[in-house]
Amino acid sequence: MQARAFAPAHITGFFEVFLTDDALTSGSRGAGVTLSEGVFTEVEATPARDGEICVEVNGMPCECEVSKYVAEALLADRKERYEVYIKHKITVPQKQGFGTSAAGALSTVIALNQALNLGMSETALAQVAHRAEVECRTGLGDVIAQVTGGLVVRTRAGAPGIGMVEKFYSCAKVVVFLVGSGIETRKVLSSPEIIDRINHYGKECVAELLRNPGVERFVSLSKKFAFATGLAKGKIAKAIIELEEYGYEASMAMLGEAVFVISEKPEEVVNLLDYPCITASIENCGARLL
């Protein structure tokens, strides 16, 4: 029994953290864009006595705790036992603010639901993925954005079905420069001092974007947030300033050592900095079966 699914990468520009005693009401407010690149997942499930779950990423074995978490959650109440093999093809870097763990979890539940004919709703599946992200401390708001697609403003924190969003469409391209090796999201989310700064400026940016929504305003507010919180520093800050000198507003992908520009003409941007870069379209559709 096999099935395939795709979940788009998601770049957050700014956010505000909300943590409660319930993972489903925890999450974040904020804004970000989903990309045409992301995580393609193939799931194969076979009846077996042991019920082992194996995951690979781009052809290599992976612990992938979030993907295993969601697979175990979907199988927990079933009498039958299955050996499940999850193959992720990730077309963006990990730990660079692309929401890959959420995309992996979301594409896994969509594919596994289809492969085993579980009959779960899209909202219920997305809630499993959101819970995994929150409890594993790998993200807070990517899942609800990835099921929505486009420029997504998360106006109320929480999992799909609980949180609320406003969606805006765009045909622009996103160029992302990789200026470092990446950031561990859970390390940032474990610092109360950083969280206080994030929440103060994140709240301001959400309110400002809703007053005047649009891609250009999103990037401008993202830059304000990145510098005001102190998250943009070192090579990240230097890259943002250098791109500004070339006439392009840029900001930091939260939370990664990556800097993004949104432009109708990406070919004019890609060679401006001496860093590896990725170009993708804004993906206006959410996660789905393939």
- Closest by CA to 122, choosing from 160, 90, 151, 165, is 160
Would you say residue 190 has pLDDT above 80? Answer: no
CATH code for position 237:
3.30.230.120
Range of the domain at 202: 1-290
Q: How many CA atoms lie within 13 A of 177 on its CB side?
A: 24
Percent of the chain with pLDDT over 70: 99
Average pLDDT rounded to a whole number, residues 30-57: 94
- pTM confidence score: 0.95
If one counts the domains in the chain, the total is 1
| 8 A C-beta contact, residue 43 and residue 108 | yes
Q: Which of 31-40, 126-135, 178-187 has the lowest mean pLDDT?
A: 178-187
Would you say residue 188 has pLDDT above 80? Answer: no
Residue 144 or residue 192, greater confidence = 144
pLDDT of residue 277: 96
**DSSP strands (E only) in the chain:** 2-18, 27-47, 53-57, 60-61, 82-90, 151-156, 164-168, 173-178, 251-252, 258-263, 277-281, 288-289
Q: 187 falls in which pLDDT band (50, 70, 90)?
A: confident
- DSSP string spanning 145-206? HHTT-SEEEEEE-SSBTTBEEEEE----EEEEEE-SS---HHHHHT-HHHHHHHHHHHHHHH
As a whole number of angstroms, the distance between CA 138 and CA 159 comes to 14
Q: Which of 32-36, 47-51, 103-107, 192-196 has the lowest mean pLDDT?
A: 47-51
As a whole number of angstroms, the distance between CA 25 and CA 47 comes to 35
Which two three-digit tokens encode residue 58? Answer: 């781009």
As a whole number of angstroms, the distance between CA 114 and CA 99 comes to 23
Average pLDDT rounded to a whole number, residues 61-73: 94
pLDDT of residue 80: 85
pLDDT of residue 185: 67
